[in-house]
Structure 1
Amino acid sequence: MISEFFARLLPLIYAACFLGLLWQAFRIMGRGFAAVPRPGDQNRVPRGDRTGRLTIHPELLDADGQLTRDDLLTVRFGGDQEQPASPNDPS
């Protein structure tokens, strides 16, 4: 009796979850398509535009939340045209 009830209920639960996830996927894809400018669209500033704002990465903060004064390591790739700077070079 109870197993028959669950056997009838399981496809409904599955279908409800499937439709909910499908709706969520289309909603997220719609936001992605709306973010891409198309020819003929009005010039608009997207919400949350961070142009001109300073972003400080958490790796650059010390234990007190201040910018670290430690020397930072850098990686130089082989195709660079610039001259390598020595660690004591102020520039």
Structure 2
Amino acid sequence: MEQRVTTIISHIAASHREMSRILETHRSVSSQMATIASDIPDSHPHFDGVGMLQEQALQLTKNITAYLNSLANLEEAIAQQTEIVMKEMKDPEDEE
């Protein structure tokens, strides 16, 4: 039974590593977009109009929101998987 739990935990760990790589990529993109946004001059920006500026700001906001949602999903997945493993580890003790 312990071998089964160990195998499950190793698969969960591999899954979490992959999810963290994806999140790292999202973080990198969001960070770069935020850096670009901070370089925008406060006065007299020369864009293709206010509409273009608003569109870019909206895209940045969406990207950051997606990254934060991904973090929340990762946290939820870790909690659910940890709960399953803890229940699995507790059951053999109850049977003894």
TM range (shorter): 0.3 to 0.5
- TM-score by length of structure 2 reads 0.37
Choose 1 or 2 for highest CA Rg. 1
Structure ranking higher on relative contact order (CA contacts 8 Å, 6+ apart): 2
More helix by share: 2
